[in-house]
Copies of this chain bind each other. A is one copy, B any other.
Amino acid sequence: MTRILPLEPLTREAFAPFGEVIEAAGITPIPINYGATSRYHDLANIDCAAQGGSAIVSLFRSTPPAYPFTLKVMENHPLGTQAFMPLSGRPWLVVVAPPGWFDAGKVRAFRARGDQGVNFARGTWHHFNLTLGAASDFLVIDRSGPASEKPDDNCTEVSLEEFGLAVEAPHGA
């Protein structure tokens, strides 16, 4: 049996248990550049320095799955935050569960606008990028550890096959 997760609007308040929403809306900007630029300052708690790590910048190009999509796996980075900012302007889906022991009953799905990014807090369970409509690029800020570190040290996965959780593309996307 499959359960379709309801899509919640992505807001700072609703997403707070999982990290930060990166968006200008609701922030009072600082005027800089002699008035040419509004700076919406310091919107994400980048936290990538644990165990000799540092923040790196990459681009992700993600292809949308066929919807409805049954969730297969979620991942968790205990040593660093991971921020995603869409570059395509297209809406996308963010599926998360609280840090700690994985609880399939606490998985939540958010519908993000195309001008909303997120920063997953350390340890937040999250599904990989779920794009809508077309292959879409994201700027990603995450952690790179020392060469001696094993990849598994900062990436845990949990299988969702047994839970039958699915997401559906929103109407019009």
Contact = CB atoms under 8 A, between A and B. Distances in A.
Contacts of A60: 32, 37-40
B36 A129 contact: yes
Nearest to A89: B89
A49 interface: yes
Interface string A41-63: 11110100100001111111111
Given A87-B87, A128-B36, A139-B139, A43 B61 contact: no
B24 A39 contact: no
Contact of A58 (B42, B58, B61, B63): B42
Interface string A95-131: 0000000000000000000010101000000001100
Give the contact-size bracket for chain A.
Answer: 35 or more
A34 B72 CA distance: 10
Contacts of A159: none
A93 interface: no
A29 B58 CA distance: 10
A137 interface: yes
A64 to B, nearest CB: 8
Query: Chain B CB within 10 Å — which of A37, A63, A117 has the most?
Result: A37
Contacts of A128: 32-34, 36-37
A23 interface: yes
